[in-house]
Every structure is written in structure tokens, then in C-alpha cells.
Amino acid sequence: MKTIDNNFVNFDIIGDIHGHSNDLKKLLNALGYSNKKGYYQHPERKVLFIGDYIDRGINIIEVLDIVKKMVDNGEAIALMGNHEYNAICYNTLNANGDYLREHNPKNFNQHAVTMAAFMPVPNMYKMYIEWFKTLPLFYENDSFRAVHACWDNTYIDYLRTRLDENNCLTNSIIEESATEGTDLNKAVEVTLKGKEAKMPEGVTFIDKDRILRTEFRTKWWENPHKMTYSSISVHSVKGMPNTPFVVEDDNYYLETEVPVFFGHYWMEQKAGTRPHIQRENVCCVDFSVAKGDGILACYRYSGESKLNSTQLVFVK
């Protein structure tokens, strides 16, 4: 497998794809990538995929084929998303012979489209589960950082001591990573699934998977001491009060740090408006392609220290 020079900065950073290969091909074509050699490439740029290639959309195998071929030929870096991590755990037994991710109705439904896609080719499914293990949990160079859900320096520093030299999970620690209560489990959960906080008393909501939630996703890039429950919530929640947020975690992504890119959060593009960054050094590239009105988005990064929303490119 060809690798990419760690000093390279001309990256097209693409958000969560979730089995939508047609959108991916349209986006790559719009960005100037060609597929003349059996894989997409650009004469001056590379792609950094932010994770979540599977589940939800039906063209999962084609998405994985495109992404893996680009990685294998040195045209892309692909990070692990929480859906790839969940798939690993769903197919891995612990020391007691139980699956690391329980085979309950909720977890089955989340992964059902992927399993159905691979039903005619079970050996290919096994191959991709093993390939998921080779995906880094985060990427950084001197210019920028990228992660699927949350860059918390405390957890990233801890992961550096536990992951291999490529920032990947090894077989020897996967079970520990899925064991609640371990430091590794907490670090992986936050990095791949983000930070959550408890709802104020009496407030709940039903999420996109029809699950009742008593916790909500928080903006880990904002100073929590300056936020209310409503303003620190990534998504609007009915009944969320504008009272001061009760801070349990002081860590947040400082304005002085290098730009960071992530996905995971199903940002919405309001009708008639362009997607936008969160801050000059913070950019989410997940704009809900798996929703009917969502888009597949990309940030065209070229080494700048201050990000700009005009660099976001997208296709419907």
C-alpha cells in the first residue's frame, strides 16, 4: 500500500458517505478527480475520508471499493468512523464467547443494510471487517488535524500511548476498547462518537433512529462555561432551556489550535444557504447525505491556518 507524505497538505476532506456511492462519484468528479487507472486520482490533491462509509445507503460495497482502492494507491487517507468500529465489534467475540457489540434489535437494525449488501459475498464482508481495523482513529500533521467525531487532546494523547504506529487499534486491545469502564473505552467512545451530556430534568427526545435519548451531543469546540443547554447542543432539541450549562468537562478545542476537521454530526444545510464552518479553525464536513434533503460535502484544504466556508464544496 502506498503512503502519503506527512507534510502533504492539499487534501479534499470528505464527510460521512454512508453507502451513497453515486454522490461520492459526483463529488470526486466535481473536484477534478479522474478514474482512468481503476481508482480515482488528482494530479495535485489527495482525499481524506472522515469515516462512516457503511450503513444507511444501499451502495455500500461500491463506496468501500472506491475508498479502499484510493487508499491502496496512495490517493487517500481513510479514517475510522463509529459505524466501522461498531461493525468490528458486532463481528468480534470476547473471551467469554459473546459479541463485543450486542446483537440486539437496535444494533441489528443499524447494521442491517450493510449485512444485506454483503449477504451474497460473505468472504468480502470478512475482508472489509479486517480492513476496518487498519483505519486510523485520527490523523494530524503540522498544519491540521482530522478525526471522525471529537478531538479532545486528553483522549488523543492517551490513544497515542495505546494505538499502533499508524494510530490504529490492534487485535490485542479491541476487546478492552469495547469494555465499559476502561480508559480505552472512554477514549475511543469520545473520539469516534463525540461528547454527550445529560439532559436537564424532564427533557428527552427521539433521535433519527427512533431511540429515546436522555443525553445530547455537545459542541466540544465551544467554551462550555459560556454556553447554555440550548446553545451547546449540536442539534436543536425541543424544550431545551436557555439556562447556563452545568459543566462537567472543561476541555474544549481552543481558538489558538491548528484547524481540525470532523464528521459525524449530521449538520443541516438550510434551504437557500451554503454549508458553513463552525469557526476559523473548526469544520464539520458531515451534512447528512443519508437524509433526503442532505448533501455530501467536502472542504478543499490547502494549508491555510484560517478556514473559510467558501472552500466547502458539495453535491446533492
The strand pairing partners of 12, in sequence order, are 47, 300
Q: What is the DSSP string of 112-175?
A: HHHHHHHTT-HHHHHHHHHHHTTS-SEEE-SS-EEESS---HHHHHHHHHHS-TTS---HHHHH
Q: What is the pTM of this model?
A: 0.95
- Cβ(27)–Cβ(61) below 8 Å: no
For residue range 287-301, list pLDDT tens digits in order.
Answer: 999 987 899 999 999
- Cβ(151)–Cβ(187) below 8 Å: no
Q: What is the DSSP string of 23-46?
A: HHHHHHHHTT-B-SSSS-B-SS-E
The predicted structure's pLDDT at residue 35: 96
Domains detected in the chain: 11-148+256-315 (3.60.21.10)
Please give the single-letter amino acid code of residue 70.
Answer: M
For residue range 175-232, list pLDDT tens digits in order.
Answer: 999 999 999 999 999 999 999 999 888 777 777 677 777 789 999 999 999 999 999 9
Q: How far apart are the first and last CA of the chain?
A: 32
